A and B are shown apart, each in its own frame.
Chain A
Amino acid sequence: KQEVTQIPAALSVPEGENLVLNCSFTDSAIYNLQWFRQDPGKGLTSLLLIQSSQREQTSGRLNASLDKSSGRSTLYIAASQPGDSATYLCAVRAGGGADGLTFGKGTHLIIQP
């Protein structure tokens, strides 16, 4: 059974810092990996999706990397801002088509003004 672990569980840093969130998964046979953002009491906002054949994806200040063979992904946030404060979730998909996602418990991020 696939398990997804995110480290750290919580992180508080001053505004402007660059930071890295980590995600690991036990079964490397994945179809893709997604990073999401969740604000308190809200749904999910998709940030980046990396297909299993890709090594990284970038969107603005966000960069996500994938090392499928070692079962790891990182989300890099550059020049953090208070608006980046949220819970960041990593999720993997086992196969294409009708497979659901397996989520980690998330990293609760606070950016101090």
Chain B
Amino acid sequence: GAVVSQHPSWVICKSGTSVKIECRSLDFQATTMFWYRQFPKQSLMLMATSNEGSKATYEQGVEKDKFLINHASLTLSTLTVTSAHPEDSSFYICSASFEDSSYEQYFGPGTRLTVT
């Protein structure tokens, strides 16, 4: 149980375009979803936290107009990287949690974004 999926698993896009990444909880309803970013040989850094039906809370230094997060339902959150640039190339990982799990976070497999 507690499976989280992400789509796509990898994507290549041209500079200036926008890319949408989906995060789904497959067998539970997620109270909260989180988005992390991981640069090569670095650790994961929290970007934002989202709750269904409300605006996401962004960490300091993360541009909310560049990284648009929509949490439309209890099983789906999307991250849209707008006007992507090569420096946005990274590994993006989402996680989801629910109350009964003592808020343990369950992670998706990640999305590798390469901006050319």
Contacts and interface: CB of A to CB of B under 8 A. Distances in A.
Interface in A68-112: 89, 91, 93, 96-106
A100 B51 CA distance: 12
Interface of B: 6, 31-32, 34, 36, 42-46, 49, 51, 57, 59, 91, 93, 95, 102-110, 112
Contacts of A41: 91, 112
Interface of A: 4, 31-32, 34, 36, 41-44, 46, 49, 51, 89, 91, 93, 96-106
Contact of B104 (A4, A46, A102, A105): A46
Contacts of B34: 100-101
The DSSP consensus for interface residues of chain B is strand
A66 to B, nearest CB: 15
A32 to B, nearest CB: 7
A98 B51 contact: yes
Contacts of A102: 46
Given A44-B107, A89-B43, A98-B51, A51 B102 contact: yes
A44 B32 contact: no
Given A42-B109, A43-B93, A98-B49, A103 B43 contact: yes
B81 to A, nearest CB: 18
Contacts, number: 63
B83 to A, nearest CB: 25
B104 A34 contact: yes
Q: Most B CB atoms within 10 A — which of A97, A98, A102, A104?
A: A98
A44 B49 contact: no
A93 B101 CA distance: 14
A103 B43 CA distance: 6
Nearest to A102: B46
A43 B108 contact: yes
Contacts of A42: 109-110
